[in-house]
Amino acid sequence: MPRRARIALPNVPIHLIQRGNNRQPCFFADEDYRRYLDWLSEYASKSSCRIHAYVLMTNHVHLLISSERADAGGALMKSLGQRYVQYVNRVYRRSGTLWEGRFRSCPVQEEDYLLGCQRYIELNPVRANMVTHPAEYRWSSYRANAQGEMDALVQPHLLYTSLGSDAVSRQAAYRDLFRYELEPGLVDEIRRATNGNFALGSERFASAVSETIGRRAAPGQSGRPRKSGMPESGELDLE
């Protein structure tokens, strides 16, 4: 059975996750994390991807990215994955695959979902009981987004910049979002959409994505969506 093509649209943010093969570690030392981030920055620039949030866990990676090109995320992950596997195999004298097949991803509705997805990503180390607060974890975008720590990799999304009139107020507003835990329902939505390659957002957003790509973008549906009230193919109405 052929694999479902990933859902990727120009200028629509994508949450993606890449896991180590069989959930095994893919980072073994601090230098590994640094190399990965350096190459992530390099290939993000080459593929015209903007990185809004990230976290490097021991055995997987989360990214929130956007680009004017629909194929940019795939190009980024292909180049980055190959480069990093070559490095790991050489340094640790191993061979074979490192990653668990293809990365998983989902398009993210900006309104009501994008900042929640950022929180989901940056709270990963807390949910894994590795730290008690995201600021304690070195290998994520939290310190850049919430505390203004210099990180050339992070390019804030427009919704993030709308949190305040200057950097200090934006960071304070962003930190305030972390005063509360993510709603369990939102965590489940993010996981379901990412693992299933579905749209993360409202029913209207999923319907608009479905119409644009010509196939279903939500679980439990089959066939093409109805035309009534939908945007023309290629025109994604995300309001």
CATH numbers and ranges of domains, the chain: 14-201 (3.30.70.1290)
Provide the pLDDT for residue 4: 72
Provide the pLDDT for residue 227: 41
- What global pTM score does this model have? 0.89
CA distance 118 to 106: 13
Provide the pLDDT for residue 69: 94
Provide the pLDDT for residue 153: 96
CA distance 88 to 166: 41
Contact 55, 139 (CB under 8 A): yes
Provide the pLDDT for residue 159: 96
Report residues of the chain scoring pLDDT below 50.
1, 221-239
Provide the pLDDT for residue 231: 38
Provide the pLDDT for residue 43: 97
Provide the pLDDT for residue 226: 42
Provide the pLDDT for residue 80: 97
Provide the pLDDT for residue 2: 56
Give 14's strand partners. Answer: 65, 107
